[in-house]
Chains A and B, each alone.
Chain A
Amino acid sequence: MSAHTVKRRKLSPSPDASTSHTKSSGDSTRTSSKAGSEKTAAARKNDSTKPQAGSRGKDERSAEIAMASGFYKSSFFKLQMDELLTGLRPNYDKRISKLQDTLCKLKNAIETLPENPAKSVAEAEKELRGISGVVVPWPEPRPAKDTKYTVSYAKPTNINVVGSFALRTGAKTSDIRSVDMAVTMPSSIFQEKDYVNYRYFHKRAYYVACLAAGIQDSMNELGLEVKFGLQDGDSLRPLILLESRPTSKDDQTPSRPQIRILTAIDSTLFPITRTLPMKSNVRQGSSADQSEIGEPTPFYNASLRSEATVSQYHKYLHLASQKCESFRDACILGRTWLQQRGFHTSFQNGGFGGFEWAALISLLFEGGGPTGQPILMRSYSSYQIFKATIQFLAGRDLTTPLLLFASDVPVPDGGPVLYDGRRGLNLLYKMTPWSYAALRHEATITLKMLNESREDNFDRVFIVKVDESALRFDRLISFPKSFSGDTLQALREQNSLYSVLSKALGDRVKLISFASESVGAWSTRSKGLTKKASHCLSVGLLLDADNVGRVVDHGPPAEEKEEAASFRAFWGEKAELRRFKDGSILESLVWSDQPSEESILHQILAYVLNQHFQVDEEDFLLTGDEYDDLLYDEGDGVVAYSNSPFQSINEAFKELERSVRDMEEVPLEIRHLAPASPLLRYTALRVQGPGGANEPADVVLQFESSPKWPDDFAAIQMTKAAFLIKIGDSLESSGAASGCRVGLENESSKVLNNAYLDIPHTSGFLFRLRIHHEREQTLLERQLKNKSINPREREELAFALFSYKKLFVQTSRLTQALRSLCTRFPLMSPTIRLVKYWFTSHLFSAQVSEELVELLTIRTFTQSYPWDCPSSIMTGFLRTLHFLSRWDWQQEPFIVDLGGDLSPEITETIRTRFTAWRNIDPAMNNVALFVASDLDTDGITWTQYEMPSKVVAGRMTMLAKAAVNLLRTQNQDLDVPDLFQTSLAPYDFVIHLSSKALGDRPAVSKYKNLAEMGTSRGSKMVMVKSFVHDVQACYSQSVLLFHGDERCGVVAGLWNPQMVKPRAWNLKTPYSTAPAPEASQEKQNQVKINHPAILNEISRLGEGLLDTIETK
């Protein structure tokens, strides 16, 4: 180890090391110290994620060294992060110079405000409204008319800019960047006991109203509008917002940031002991002097305390940013991370935002470890701080309170507690049990992403917007019940809803999340704080896929009287006493799993909401079941991979395998009979039971190698045919199948596979067997090396090799992989099938192979970041579309982990191949999509030869984007079938298939031939496919056809736009031409493509198959 380090230090610096100087160098830097690096390496072994301290270097070379010793995630990660930070760091000097003037004027305006002597509440309110029209933003409950205490305004003791603007910890993000100005109210206007019964908040509200009234005019001159808003969504604490008036310019591009005027009080005004979390400060009755017993009011207390800690925290954070160089960058990273996950400071948005993040980091410099030791070091880089903080959030369960600089502080149950004893505040007081669960959930996933070596995940940690509810949650409930604008009240109500839901759903869900709208700003002259502030609630559920479909819930045994009674109390009539097989008698709940009924989740919700909140079934909206229902309708009533058609066809396959192994008449030993069909890997969209109209299920037979095989392509094909006849005879004589037939394909070629055997198995399923002869590959490869063959032959050979690999190697590999993946992820099979339905609905069947769709979907499961693995069809499906909409396939290869063996080396190999392909074929005429896996590093197995072409790939991306856009704009109002509705408008002509020919063709010979019986569905589609294939072969360059499956009924076509223009006549013109109308004399001999003639030819070719051809 030491030798390595010594060597490394001799490395010459990279040429640009001296010129580039980034302020934040990653955690790599520490490794420039030899001792440090060794120490870290040792520590790393013990605790792989906890970074260690070390000295900091300055040059970028360190990234290489970091890579060398394996500390860094990857140097590319660091480079991207630096870039991101540079992009997000606001230019504070510029912003300050822009705002300086306004802020100064504001300060002056406040300082020159006249005092307002103490008055009674009613009088003060009336007077204020009379003079300036400002309505005092009283919090609920507003002070009674007979309130004894008085309100007043006096000159603030201090006015200063605080928060991210002053600390320079903000990030350039999409949010309104606000500048916070804290106005410290003089202690003189408060009384000792003002901390009880909203007195402080009432006085504060008046003070704020006076401020607003006082600065109104001067701010109007500056073009700023004075409004009220809520601080952190907390209705106890209204504040003043100064927004630039939108009238000045219609599109307010880089408008001036919002200025918020916060209030603060001296930290010693109210003693900390009065605002401890478990103190009761809201008491019944008006007398404030009653003894201090009663319900604890943690939120109220903390809200009060946070007013007192404004400057304390400001100083504290400032100190931290002074002491730690990378503090600011760490704040930017944290803010970005939180924002992408929808966490903000306000209590409706999780109660954990930029301020909490910054304060948490500062606290973690001083403690937080299991034995009180600091979690962070000041020498950490921004990345290290970020990662360690994420690890802290993920690892330390704060529902077991963490008390810093304090001990023995009683805290309430349920919510998370991170109590800062010095300042007397539970930093997480705005977090609810559900938002905390969500935060930890996100932190855990992010930690996994950071620890993963397979991919760098940078995009997924910082760039991707994670909080789109339909992608994030498996089920969404929108709730009509409006919650009060009063924060305390809303909290209580939501808490009770949360506890009912979590009790009712139990282990069916992993996470329940509430989200509500934040309250916007309102005019100083209007009242309506409470009315406006009431808001709807949307609930997101993360399901536990294993439990969600459970039909019977077991409650407590009947003997346990107390628990049984509470069970009954909760469930009411739904609870019933049942005796189970093991003899136990339990309180239980039975739900219906009939397809005609609503989903079990829906039943539970409907019942519970009605029982406890009197919400009717019609009044709440559950989103997510539609996707299951759609699959049920379109997928022959099969949803899960464990449903019977899939199981029976797999059993039939096992039987077939046995019969094939037992064949006696066949002279070669069987090595392997491999399944190679979507039906046998649980991914066929449509599947029916025995005797149903399934497509033939492909299987591949491999013999033990034998030297007796000929070395000639044609002879191999003939030998295969001979074997197939033999196998067919043998299976028939053993009674495993009847009516086996050898079928022919590609008969015009001697290098492609020519024959297969259709086996109508006695189980009622039809199998299609092909023989895999591994020497074909060697022969093809050798022949391709032969320099004397002409280009045409070479092309044919290359195609033969491609088909060989696809047909015999990759299909069975994929099938094998999917069979195990589908059992590991039960939702993979239904998701793939729904995605297939999407592709066929949009007429991609001819251009996008089923295998490609499967691979695209698998990724959603095996590389699910930035989310957890999907636990519903909805998330699986939508995330796949979301991925498709973002995939820049021209520049990026698609890499999926099938066998769990995807290592960085393999990824590297795949990328190299991708680059090579793009170099060979930069116009993407052959390969548009590059789709590789750990089992198939070639990446072109399913996509070469324009499967799909770049035009079609572009359309795929476009449609995915449109779908995601629809989802974003319509949200829960989205009608799911809309996603599957394709528009025929973009096509030049549409061929309507004859429903008669497709639908009513009776099975030809019912008794004579079993094989024909089951293929009515297959055969009609086979005919359409043959027809499309014919057309495509005749007009390969001029026409592009699109079709779906048999339910679509149309084939849509596009003319090649490059061939529409008239051009000079040429012998090699690859399409039917007509003389162009002579526009000008010079352009004689021009011909143009003869569209009517081609359409006529097509319609004659499809005589009886098609009804009409509709042209644009």
Chain B
Amino acid sequence: MKKVTVEVPGYTTLPLQLPSDRKPATHYLYLRPHEPRVPTPDTSRCLFLVNVPIDTTEAHIRHLFGTQLSAGRVERVSFEDVPVKKNTVATDSNLAHRNKKRKRITADDLQSQLEDIWLPSTWNRELQKSGSHAIVFFPDIPSMESSLKAASKAARKGTSIVWGEGLPSDRVPPLGLQRYIAHERLRYPDRATLLRTVNEFMTVFEGVSEARKREETKRLAEPDEDGFVTVMHGPKLNSVSREDEMKELVERQKQKAAGLEDFYRFQSREKRKERQNQLLRRFDEDKRKLRDMRDRRGKIRVSIFFFP
């Protein structure tokens, strides 16, 4: 492989050999210290990776920095397009809440809890979009720096790094046929798991609506600044049904009005006028259409062959 001299300003370009029994191919990974517009305390120990291979997993990245470049230990990896919220921090705080007094649980807490209960994924391994980026969290700044250094050294020296080589096969689910067979299996979760998920979800969901209702009533029962209490119906669970009702009413009103358009003379006169105007308009439109057609296909011509 020819040595790569191209540098993208600010980035280290790390060539990776892609494993293949067929044609050799080189992938290029671009690295730099993470510098987001709004820095957080964590950013200083992060590396920003651009153009990760589509089959990148956290294990791959760990393996790359830990073993293949023998630099730093990776704490975790955050990929593009994956919502951050789902991660440990959020659940931790949730758990912390739950350990406190039960009655203090608010609807919002329940809501966030609800978001974690969901149907199981039907894939055993996520894929990355081509050309996407990832943020690698290192435990500390030195290990980040040494990793970056190791990467640029490898790039400079032209060390051949084969992507994912030596990664124990039990660390990542395989791609290819196995992946799709697994997908076929995972599409049908077993009945008990599914039922449990559904039940759990519905219980928490009920909890959320209960809590919301309670909070609403409580809020309404409190007098406002002027000391008034607004009297209202309780919050509707189904505001949609009311919408439907409204629609029906409008519909009925329309029906009632039907047949009354010709009642007055002026009405029929206006209607006639309207129709004439419409005809005129349509005639002009037709003319325009013909003009358009002519512009598009030339003159109307009798087709000699199958297609003009």
Which residues in A have some Cβ–Cβ distance to B below 8 Å? 4, 7-8, 11, 14, 63-64, 67-68, 74-76, 79-80, 83-84, 87-88, 173-174, 336, 339-340, 462-465, 468, 707, 710-712, 714-715, 717-719, 721-722, 725, 741-745, 747-748, 750, 754-755, 758, 775, 778-779, 782, 882, 885-886, 888, 891, 961, 964-965, 967-968, 997, 1019, 1022-1023, 1026-1027, 1030, 1033-1036, 1038, 1065, 1067, 1069-1076, 1078, 1084-1085, 1087, 1090, 1092-1097, 1099-1105, 1108-1109
Contacts and interface: CB of A to CB of B under 8 A. Distances in A.
A1096 B7 CA distance: 24
A437 to B, nearest CB: 25
A695 B131 CA distance: 36
Contacts of B201: 714-715, 718
11 contacts: A64-B280, A88-B302, A714-B201, A743-B188, A747-B121, A1023-B184, A1065-B30, A1074-B26, A1093-B26, A1105-B176, A1108-B22
A1029 to B, nearest CB: 10
B131 A1072 contact: yes
A463 B304 CA distance: 9
A567 B119 CA distance: 74
A754 B118 CA distance: 11
A465 B198 contact: no
Interface in B195-238: 195, 197-199, 201-202, 205, 209, 237-238
B176 A1102 contact: yes
Contact of B128 (A64, A965, A1034, A1038): A1034
A464 B286 contact: no
Contacts of A1104: 176-178
Given A7-B276, A722-B202, 5 more contacts: A79-B290, A748-B121, A964-B307, A1095-B23, A1096-B18
B130 A742 contact: no
B175 to A, nearest CB: 5
Contact of A775 (B22, B195, B240, B275): B240
A292 B289 CA distance: 65
B8 interface: yes
B76 interface: no
Contacts of B90: none
B187 interface: yes
Contacts of A775: 240
B19 A1100 contact: yes
Interface string B28-63: 101000000000000000000011011100000000
B240 A778 contact: yes
Contact of A1036 (B129, B133, B181, B297): B129
B191 to A, nearest CB: 6
A87 B290 CA distance: 14
Range, interface on chain B: 35 or more
A778 B244 contact: yes
A1100 B162 CA distance: 14
A76 B178 contact: no
A885 B130 contact: no
A953 to B, nearest CB: 16
B127 A1030 contact: yes
Given A83-B300, A1038-B130, A1072-B53, A964 B306 contact: yes
B23 A1096 contact: yes
| Residue of B25, B290, B297, B301 with most chain A CB atoms under a 10 A cut-off | B25
B177 A1105 contact: yes
A14 B284 contact: yes
A880 to B, nearest CB: 13
B189 interface: yes
Contacts of B299: 83, 87
B240 A465 contact: no
B162 to A, nearest CB: 12
Contact of A1073 (B51, B127, B188): B51
Contacts of B209: 710
Contacts of B177: 997, 1023, 1103-1105
Given A76-B286, A885-B306, A1026 B4 contact: no
Contacts of A1101: 54-55, 127, 175-176, 179
B20 interface: yes
B256 interface: no
A742 B178 contact: no
In the complex, the 7 A-B pairs of residues with the closest C-beta atoms, listed nearest first: A1103-B176, A1104-B177, A1075-B6, A1092-B25, A1096-B25, A1023-B180, A76-B286
A376 B70 CA distance: 99
B304 A83 contact: no
A561 to B, nearest CB: 53
A422 to B, nearest CB: 34
B205 A710 contact: yes
A1074 B28 contact: yes
B174 A1095 contact: no
Contact of B289 (A76, A174, A1099): A76
| Residue of B28, B54, B129, B290 with most chain A CB atoms under a 10 A cut-off | B54
A667 B7 CA distance: 66
B120 interface: yes
| Residue of A742, A1070, A1076 with most chain B CB atoms under a 10 A cut-off | A742
Nearest to A83: B300
B283 A64 contact: yes
Contacts of B237: 707, 710-711
Contacts of A714: 114, 118, 201, 205
B302 A339 contact: yes
B54 A1034 contact: yes
Interface in B139-176: 174-176
B27 interface: yes
B6 A742 contact: no
A718 B176 contact: no
Contacts of A968: 305-306
A172 B238 CA distance: 70
A1093 B282 contact: no
Given A463-B303, A715-B202, A1036-B129, A1076 B6 contact: yes
Contacts of B303: 340, 463-465
B241 interface: yes
A631 to B, nearest CB: 23
Given A64-B283, A1023-B184, A1072 B130 contact: yes
A1092 B23 contact: yes
Nearest to A85: B300
B294 interface: yes
Contacts of A465: 303-306
Contacts of A1085: 6-9
B92 to A, nearest CB: 23
| Residue of B53, B180, B187, B286 with most chain A CB atoms under a 10 A cut-off | B180
| Residue of B27, B114, B302 with most chain A CB atoms under a 10 A cut-off | B302
Contacts of A1093: 18, 25-28, 53
Interface in B256-308: 272, 275-276, 279-280, 282-284, 286-287, 289-290, 294, 296-297, 299-308
A722 B205 contact: no
Nearest to B297: A888
A239 B55 CA distance: 81
Contact of B191 (A7, A463, A464, A725): A725
B67 interface: no
Given A464-B303, A747-B118, A1097-B55, A712 B189 contact: no
A1096 B53 CA distance: 10
B250 interface: no
